[in-house]
């Protein structure tokens, strides 16, 4: 599958949930498959925290496929022979859409730390404008894992008439106190890096790579399951020849050091902060007196809510809570707990069970 990324510009001002606004914005996108004449076969996939628009296929000159390549493609779970799949980098991100590393059209300077606070609702708003751009009146499905699943849920609430199905995977209707706490530790590490300069590091020609690396090391632990780490690394000692640091004893330490360093080379620190704040703040029931049942009553989409047994960051209780609320709201919703070897990250990987659940949901008709 040939992959072409395309940047799409939106000229009108976008008022954000915070009250601030962007004087226009750009979205970096990829699409897979063909939009049919009636424009009724469109699927939106929403990326998780550190994901981007490159969801499927392999780009020219690269080796690594897109983050959901195991599930999107010709003959795959989300079959590009039948569906037109739209993927985008969310605003506030750092992979081509308007964000801290892009130029503010107003000031002509890098946004940096001045990029406004963003929310999951803001992302849905930009995705709605993207749907308008393609002439898509109603998504056949909006799907995503983790923070991507939150966007799928928000779609059913923000634009009930423009989404038929929402696949909400390894997600939650609001994150837990512990997750907020973990995000705060990550932000603390980044912000206290002496190269952070209150977010103005690019203007100073520096990068808070140490903070970003440590934040990712922590993140990585939370994305994997205890059992997966035990199986992969156990307590095996690291070969001294390939140690990233002289003080390292165990393989798992070396692995995290490596993963952290790689990530710090490709991700922007201000984006990290914006994305985690958006995750912390997501809580659609807040405007319904904290009652998710009331919040869901106006939705029209069919829901598929999926959790993974080994996910300790977004455990199944979150999925079950959404499902119980959906049932009480009287909307069409299915819950499934899936086996997953990779903890929270399981949503990224194919399994027969997972694929069957998602495929049957997508292809189902009332």
Q: Which is nearer to a second copy, 250 or 350 (CB)?
A: 250
- SS3 of the chain: CCCCEEEEEECCCEECCCCCEECCEEEEEEEECCCCCCCCCEEEEECCCCCCCCCCCCCCCCCCCCCCCCCEECCCCEECCCCEEEEECCCCCCCCCCCCCCECCCCCCECHHHCCCCCHHHHHHHHHHHHHHHCCCCECEEEEECHHHHHHHHHHHHCHHHECEEEEECCCCCCCHHHHHHHHHHHHHHHCCCCCHHHCCCCCCCCCHHHHHHHHHHHHHHHCCHHHHHHHCCCCECCHHHCCCCCCCEHHHHHHHHHHHHHHHHCCHHHHHHHHHHHHHCCHHHHHCCCHHHHHCCCCCEEEEEEECCCCCCCHHHHHHHHHHHHHCCCCEEEEEECCCCHHHHHHCCCHHHHHHHHHHHHCCC
Q: Which is nearer to a second copy, 17 or 334 (CB)?
A: 17
Q: Which is nearer to a second copy, 22 or 214 (CB)?
A: 214
CB of 268 to a second copy, least distance (A): 17
> Max CA-CA distance within the chain?
61
C-alpha dist (Å) from residue 62 to 59, 115, 364: 5, 30, 35
Active-site entry in 311, 325, 345, 346: 311
Number of residues in contact with a second copy, rule: CB under 8 A? 44
Among 189, 303, 306, 336, binds a second copy (CB under 8 A): 189
Catalytic residue list contains 133: no
- By CB under 8 A, tell whether 226 contacts a second copy: yes
Binding segment toward a second copy, per CB under 8 A, in 34-42, 133-141, 157-165, 248-256:
248-256
- By CB under 8 A, tell whether 330 contacts a second copy: no
Residues 138-177 vs a second copy: string with x where CB under 8 A?
------------------------------------x-xx
C-alpha dist (Å) from residue 149 to 106, 181, 243, 326, 366: 33, 21, 37, 15, 22
Q: Which is nearer to a second copy, 66 or 208 (CB)?
A: 208
Q: How far apart are CA 126 and CA 103, in angstroms?
A: 18
CB of 230 to a second copy, least distance (A): 5
Binding segment toward a second copy, per CB under 8 A, in 29-37, 52-60, 125-133, 221-229:
221-229
CB of 168 to a second copy, least distance (A): 19
- By CB under 8 A, tell whether 34 contacts a second copy: no
Active-site entry in 47, 54, 95, 344: 344
CB of 115 to a second copy, least distance (A): 14
Q: Which is nearer to a second copy, 78 or 256 (CB)?
A: 256
CB of 91 to a second copy, least distance (A): 20
Q: Which is nearer to a second copy, 47 or 187 (CB)?
A: 187
Catalytic residue list contains 158: no
Catalytic residue list contains 74: no
- By CB under 8 A, tell whether 44 contacts a second copy: no
Among 247, 289, 352, 365, binds a second copy (CB under 8 A): 247
Instruction: Tell me the catalytic residues.
Output: 146, 311, 344
Q: Which residues are near a second copy by CB under 8 A? A: 174, 176-178, 180-182, 184-185, 187-189, 191-194, 210-211, 213-214, 217-218, 221, 226, 229-230, 232-235, 247-250, 252-253, 256-257, 260, 277, 280-281, 283, 312
């Amino acid at each position: 599958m040939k992959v072409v990324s395309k940047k799409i510009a939106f000229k009108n001002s976008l008022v954000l949930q915070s009250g601030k606004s962007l004087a226009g914005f750009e979205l970096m996108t990829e699409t897979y498959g063909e939009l049919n004449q009636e424009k009724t076969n469109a699927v939106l996939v929403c990326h998780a925290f550190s994901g981007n628009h490159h969801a499927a296929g392999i780009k020219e000159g690269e080796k690594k496929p897109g983050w959901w390549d195991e599930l999107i493609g010709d003959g795959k779970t989300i079959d590009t022979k039948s569906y037109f799949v739209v993927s985008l980098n969310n605003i506030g991100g750092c992979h081509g859409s308007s964000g801290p590393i892009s130029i503010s059209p107003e000031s002509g300077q890098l946004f940096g730390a001045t990029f406004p606070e963003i929310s999951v609702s803001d992302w849905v708003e930009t995705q709605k404008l993207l749907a308008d751009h393609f002439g898509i009146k109603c998504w056949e499905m909006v799907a995503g894992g983790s923070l991507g699943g939150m966007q799928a849920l928000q779609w059913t609430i923000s634009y009930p008439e423009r989404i038929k199905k929402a696949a909400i995977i390894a997600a939650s209707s609001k994150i837990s106190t512990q997750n907020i706490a973990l995000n705060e530790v990550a932000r603390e590490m980044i912000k206290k890096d002496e190269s952070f300069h209150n977010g103005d590091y690019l203007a100073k020609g520096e990068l808070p790579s140490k903070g970003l690396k440590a934040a990712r090391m922590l993140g990585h632990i939370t994305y994997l399951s205890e059992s997966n780490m035990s199986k992969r690394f156990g307590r095996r000692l690291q070969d001294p020849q390939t140690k990233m640091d002289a003080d390292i004893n165990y393989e798992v330490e070396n692995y995290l050091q490596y993963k952290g360093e790689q990530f710090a080379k490709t991700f922007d620190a201000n984006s990290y902060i914006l994305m985690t704040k958006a995750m912390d703040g997501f809580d659609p029931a807040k405007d319904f007196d904290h009652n998710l049942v009331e919040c869901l009553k106006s939705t029209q989409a069919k829901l598929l809510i999926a959790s993974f047994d080994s996910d300790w960051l977004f455990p199944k209780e979150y999925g079950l809570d959404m499902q119980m609320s959906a049932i009480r709201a009287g909307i069409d919703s299915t819950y499934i707990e899936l086996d997953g070897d990779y903890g929270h990250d399981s949503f990224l990987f194919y399994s027969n069970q997972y694929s069957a659940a998602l495929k049957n949901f997508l292809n189902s008709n009332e």
